[in-house]
């Protein structure tokens, strides 16, 4: 399986994350990629290719124009205020306030466009986020001639909604890939999100639509980030009713329990019969992940890949989360190797 990867992801290299009331080094860091690349080479998964030049206007099929403009100027507006740290919002249009007004000041804008403030914006963040889009678009292009492909995206994307960032995500890479495939003639896309966290952004983007089915297996939002979306009763609206499916699972979920949901979602893929299957692939379901609570073991990831491969549908794997850095390479490649067997 070929991997698409841009070394320029390092442009996004924030130094701070607000976690447990402290500013810590972000869990989502450039070193994650080094471990995955090393394992791809060591186990000879296939060639690693740089992204090709891409028409980025397709972003606007997914994201709001004002939001993109905000992301592009956020860092310079922040530094103009002489703030010393990285850009982190401190105030939101919360439930008792006016949520429709977009303030002029960067402090207000950050609150308006941010859904969770563990994610700092720093110099190069937006440039890094654009690289991730180029990676996923190149991979989507190549899916025509390949039965499967791996978009090694960083930063990840599934928490980014039409006009909000957070959860380490700025642009929704997998949603942009789905739009690209539809533009190239696909009629139906299935997005299966197996990251530990609910893909709130992807759900929001396609919630009213029936051409993109979204299913997500994740930590119950009562107990896990992003807390405010990802419940079982969210099934889509209007034309999208019945095309959104959530599998929230409790603390301590083992592979035996988790994989029942995978089996069920695979059945849904068969019924929907899409032209392409897009996997939001996080390996933060791993038992030793520092910010998650499932109990999947490294060997279980082979089985995940194997099961997905039985569908025999063109499959685009898109990297999302995974924060047990020492094991991230092994766990990621286990899924891809399991698929290839």
CA distances from 159 to 35, 90, 173, 285 (A): 23, 20, 10, 16
Whether the CB-CB separation of 184 and 197 falls below 8 Å is answered with: no
Residue 267 parent element (H or E)? helix 255-272
The SS3 of residue 213 is: strand
- The residue count for binding Zn ion (CB under 5 A) is 6
Least distance between Zn ion and beta carbon 321 (Å): 3
Mask of contacts with Zn ion, 66-105, x by CB under 5 A?
Answer: ----------------------------------------
The residue range among 11-19, 50-58, 195-203, 303-311 that interacts with Zn ion, by the rule CB under 5 A, is 195-203
Residue nearest to Zn ion (CB): 321
Distance, in Å, from the CA atom of 295 to the CA atom of 336, rounded to the nearest integer, reads 20
Please identify which residue in 86, 163, 234, 284 interacts with Zn ion, judged by CB under 5 A: 284
Q: How far is the CB of 326 from Zn ion (least distance, A)?
A: 17
Q: From residue 241 to residue 280, what is the string marking binding to Zn ion with x (rule CB under 5 A)?
A: ----------------------------------------
| Runs of H (alpha helix) within 62-220 | 65-80, 106-113, 125-142, 173-183, 200-206
Nearer CB in complex with Zn ion: 14/138: 14
Q: Which of 165, 168, 196, 301 forms a contact with Zn ion (CB under 5 A)?
A: 196
Rule CB under 5 A: choose which of 282, 305, 329, 338 binds Zn ion. Answer: 282
Closer Cβ to Zn ion, 236 or 282, answer by number:
282
- Phi, psi angle pair for 150, to nearest 5°: -115, 115
Interface with Zn ion in residues 35-64 (CB under 5 A): none
Give me 103's structure tokens: 């303030």
- From 41-49, 89-97, 121-129, 317-325, give the range in contact with Zn ion by CB under 5 A: 317-325
SS3 9: helix
Q: How far is CA 269 from the centre of its chain?
A: 20
In the complex, minimum distance from the CB of residue 281 to Zn ion, in angstroms, rounded to a whole number: 10
Q: Which stretch binds Zn ion (CB under 5 A): 117-125, 127-135, 213-221, 284-292?
A: 284-292
| Minimum CB distance to Zn ion smaller for 196 or for 339 | 196
Residue showing tokens 């197996």: 194
Q: Are strands 189-193 and 212-219 parallel, antiparallel or unpaired?
A: parallel
Should residue 197 be labelled a site residue for Zn ion when binding is judged by CB under 5 A?
A: yes
Cα–Cα distance between 304 and 263 in angstroms, integer? 10
Smallest distance, Zn ion to C-beta of residue 150, A:
17
Q: At closest approach, how far in Å is the CB of 266 from Zn ion?
A: 21
CA separation for the pair 174, 136 (Å, rounded):
7
235 SS3 class: coil
- Pair type for strands 48-49 and 22-24: unpaired
As measured in angstroms, the least distance from the Cβ of 225 to Zn ion is 8
In terms of Cα–Cα distance, which of 331, 328, 332 is closest to 318? 332
Q: Is residue 154 close enough to count as binding Zn ion by CB under 5 A?
A: no
Catalytically annotated residues: 159
Q: Which is nearer to Zn ion, 128 or 321 (CB)?
A: 321
Residue indicated by tokens 């860091």 = 29
List 28, 141, 195, 234, residue binding Zn ion (CB under 5 A)? 195
Nearer to Zn ion, 128 or 166 (CB): 166
Interface residues toward Zn ion, by CB under 5 A: 195-197, 282, 284, 321
């Amino acid at each position: 399986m070929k991997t698409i990867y841009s070394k320029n992801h390092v442009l996004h290299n924030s130094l701070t994350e607000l976690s447990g009331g402290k500013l810590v080094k972000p869990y989502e860091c450039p070193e994650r990629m080094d471990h995955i690349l090393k394992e791809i080479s060591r186990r000879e998964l296939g060639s690693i290719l740089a992204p090709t030049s891409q028409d980025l206007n397709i972003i606007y099929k997914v994201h709001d124009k004002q939001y993109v403009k905000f992301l592009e100027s956020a860092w310079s507006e922040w530094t103009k205020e002489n703030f010393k740290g990285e850009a982190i919002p401190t105030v939101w249009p919360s439930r008792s306030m006016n949520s429709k007004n977009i303030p002029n000041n960067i402090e207000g804008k950050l609150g308006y466009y941010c859904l969770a403030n563990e994610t700092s914006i720093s110099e190069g963040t937006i440039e890094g986020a654009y690289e991730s889009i180029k990676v996923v678009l190149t991979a989507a292009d190549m899916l025509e001639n390949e039965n499967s492909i791996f978009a090694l995206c960083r930063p990840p994307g599934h928490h980014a909604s039409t006009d909000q960032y957070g959860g380490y995500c700025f642009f929704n890479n997998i949603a942009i890939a789905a739009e690209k495939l539809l533009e190239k003639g696909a009629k139906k896309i299935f997005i299966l999100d197996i990251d530990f966290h609910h893909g709130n952004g992807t759900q929001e983007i396609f919630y009213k639509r029936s051409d993109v089915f979204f299913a997500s297996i994740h930590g119950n939002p009562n107990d896990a980030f992003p807390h405010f979306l990802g419940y079982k009763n969210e099934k889509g609206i209007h034309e999208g009713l019945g095309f959104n499916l959530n599998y929230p699972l409790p603390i301590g979920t083992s592979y035996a329990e988790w994989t029942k949901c995978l089996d069920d979602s695979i059945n849904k893929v068969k019924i929907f019969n899409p032209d392409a299957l897009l996997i939001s692939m996080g390996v933060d379901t791993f038992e030793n992940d520092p910010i998650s609570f499932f109990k999947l073991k490294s060997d279980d990831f082979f089985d995940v890949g194997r099961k997905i491969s039985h569908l025999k549908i063109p499959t685009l794997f898109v990297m999302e989360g995974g924060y047990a850095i020492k094991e991230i390479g092994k766990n990621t490649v286990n899924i891809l190797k399991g698929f290839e067997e």
